[in-house]
Amino acid sequence: MNHSTETCMRELSVDKITEAVKRLCIEAACDLPEDVEKLIREAVDKEESKFGKYSLEKIVKNVELSRNENAPMCQDTGIVVVFAEVGQDLRLVGGSLTDAINEGVRQGYEEGYLRKSVVEDPVLNRKNTGDNTPAVIYTELVPGNEIKLQILPKGAGSENMGALKMLKPAEGLEGVKNFIIQAVTQAGGNPCPPVIVGVGIGGTMDKSTLLAKKALARHAGEPHANPEYQALEEELLEEINKLGIGPQGFGGKVTALAVHIETYPTHIATMPVAVCLNCHAARHKEVTL
């Protein structure tokens, strides 16, 4: 038994979670994180194409305006993806975690005047639930007695351009690179470039897509801890920016702001690769309670 990871048991009312989720939903919609903004501002200087530069300048102006006026930067305020890391020594009281998160989303989207973009049934009725619930919630048990919540309101323009391929191990690193480049090429101007490219490699089919999404929660532009994957991220970013897609797909030098790769061990017979794209309004907020 590893005593070093043990903490004292602690209680937390789920009301605190509702409150935090509500606040973070509104903040995420209106206040682009500085890490993303920094990359967009750098892109303005790098971009050479007329319409590419024009788009980026408008985007920067929009970021400033939405922050100052507490207005959503994009009308697609997304479906809310929540990554909850729950300490195993934390006891949640007063209700269920899922209900508390959804209540936070409900309140945040109502009080923040955010768009309700979730439909009840994906195929049959496609009726709007009217309060942007339910959120897509992933919980993970971790050591400790705290809860970390990461909130990613995800727009569908970029989400629709995601891709997954179960590669054969023989396809190797080249196969991985080719598939990622292909996914970004096919997405073209649709996902509101410049994008952040989330890549998940390994695990199983489902695990790779989850990793690709989780990669988008990383501080934008922060490199992978492993120098080899860091080099791969840099190489892919360079290759993607040679595609010429540019801001909004109008042609240009900046198609992606960053590439984030996450990996997981996998089966001897497979090599899943998933690509999840985020638009330039790469909204992510987090809190630890």
Partner 1 sequence: MSHVKKIVTPLTEEQVKGLQAGDQVSISGVIYTARDAAHKLLTEAIQTGEELPVDFKGQIIYYAGPTPAKPGQVIGSCGPTTSGRMDAYSPTMMAQGLKGMIGKGPRSKEVVESMKENNVVYFAAIGGAAALIADSVKEAEVVAFDELGPEAIRRLVVEDYPCIVAIDAQGNNLYELGVEQYKVTD
Q: Say how far residue 141 (Cα) sits from the centre of its chain.
A: 20
Q: Is 252 in the site for partner 1 (CB under 8 A)?
A: yes
Q: Taking CB under 8 A as the rule, does residue 188 contact partner 1?
A: yes
How far apart are alpha carbons 112 and 107 in whole angstroms? 8
> Least CB distance from residue 281 to partner 1, whole Å?
5
Of 6 and 111, the one with the shorter C-beta distance to partner 1 is: 111
Decide: is 248 part of the binding site for partner 1 (CB under 8 A). Answer: yes
User: Considering only residues 123, 125, 126, 265, which one is a binding residue for partner 1 as defined by CB under 8 A?
Assistant: 126
Q: Can you tell me the distance from the alpha carbon of 78 to that of 97, in angstroms, rounded to the nearest whole number?
A: 21
- The answer to whether 111 and 22 have CB atoms below 8 angstroms apart is yes
Q: Which helix H or strand E contains 119, and what residues bound it?
A: none
Shortest Å, Cβ 60 to partner 1: 9
Residue 246 Cα distances to 39, 75, 97, 214, 280, angstroms: 14, 22, 41, 25, 12
Which stretch of DSSP H or E encloses residue 127?
none
Residue 266 CB-half CA count within 13 A: 23
Is the CB of 218 or the CB of 283 nearer to partner 1? 283
The verdict on 243 binding partner 1 (CB under 8 A) reads yes
The verdict on 178 binding partner 1 (CB under 8 A) reads no
Which of 16, 41, 46, 116 is close enough to bind partner 1 by CB under 8 A? 116
Q: Which of these segments, 139-147, 174-182, 190-198, 262-270, binds partner 1 (CB under 8 A)?
A: 190-198
The rounded distance, in Å, linking the Cα atoms of 33 and 219 is 9
Residue 120 binds to partner 1 (criterion: CB under 8 A): no
Sole binder of partner 1 in the list 75, 182, 226, 288 (CB under 8 A): 75
Residue 221's nearest CA partner among 187, 243, 198, 240 is: 198
Q: Which residues contact 222 (CB under 8 A, 6 or more apart)?
A: 35, 260
**CB of residue 212 to partner 1, shortest distance in Å:** 20
Which residue number, 90 or 196, has a Cβ lying nearer to partner 1? 196
Nearer of residues 72 and 200 to partner 1, judged by Cβ: 72
DSSP class of residue 126?
Answer: -
Q: Is residue 48 a contact point for partner 1 (CB under 8 A)?
A: yes
| Residues lying near partner 1 in the complex (CB under 8 A) | 48-49, 51-52, 54-55, 58-59, 61-62, 65-66, 69, 71-77, 113-117, 126, 128, 130, 156-157, 160, 188-192, 242-246, 248-253, 279-281
